[in-house]
Amino acid sequence: MGPHLVPKRVYYTIFAALLVLTVVTVIVAFIDLGPFNNLIAMTIAVAKATLVVLYFMHVRYSGKLTWVFAGAGFVWLIILFVFLLNDYLTREAWSNLLTGHP
């Protein structure tokens, strides 16, 4: 038995998708979309990372325990960022970032 053998075709498809998304993220960076520039850049990065994790790192074909381990890393990361922003965004000097008023 052993680990799942992923067809080569899958690797080539993911590879092409990663290259296309890289080109898209560079092009979008040169277009002024206001606050959406950051949002789109990070959405593309998350999409690329998800493709790598699911297909290159075989999580899609792995057991539930692997899903729990991989998921735990990202849950911990989210806790770090949410509570960090919870502090900084509520500070006097930063409150304009939340309301949009200078």
Partner 1 sequence: MSEHHPALAHHFEDLDQQFEAAGLGMWAFLVQEILFFGGLFAAYLVYRMSYPEAFIQGSHYLDITLGGVNTAILICSSLTMALAVFYGQQGNRRQLILFLFLTIVLGAAFLGIKAVEYTHKYHEHLIPGPMFHPEEAHPPQMQIFFALYFAMTGMHALHMVIGIGILVFLIYQARQGRYSVEYNSPIEIFGLYWHFVDIVWIFLFPLLYLIGRH
**Which of 1, 92, 99, 101 contacts partner 1 by CB under 8 A?**
1
98 contacts: CB under 8 Å, gap ≥ 6: 89, 90
- The three-state DSSP-derived secondary structure of 34-94 is CCHHHHHHHHHHHHHHHHHHHHHCCHHHCCHHHHHHHHHHHHHHHHHHHHHHHHHCCCHHH
**Which of 39, 61, 64, 74 contacts partner 1 by CB under 8 A?**
74
Quick note: the x/- pattern for partner 1 over 32-61, rule CB under 8 A, is xx---xx--xx-xx--xx--xx-xxxx---
**Which of 35, 60, 62, 90 contacts partner 1 by CB under 8 A?**
62
- 2 or 101: CB nearest partner 1: 2
- 30 or 99: CB nearest partner 1: 30
Q: How far from 63 is each of 40, 59, 66, CA to CA, in Å?
A: 32, 8, 6
What's the CA gap between 23 and 64, in Å, rounded? 34
Name the one residue in this structure whose structure tokens are 């092409």: 16
**Which of 29, 90, 95, 98 contacts partner 1 by CB under 8 A?**
29
Indicate the residue type of 83.
F
Contact residues: partner 1, CB under 8 A: 1-3, 5-6, 8, 11-12, 15, 18-19, 22, 25-26, 29-33, 37-38, 41-42, 44-45, 48-49, 52-53, 55-58, 62-63, 65-66, 69-70, 72-74, 76-77, 80-81, 84-85, 88, 94, 97
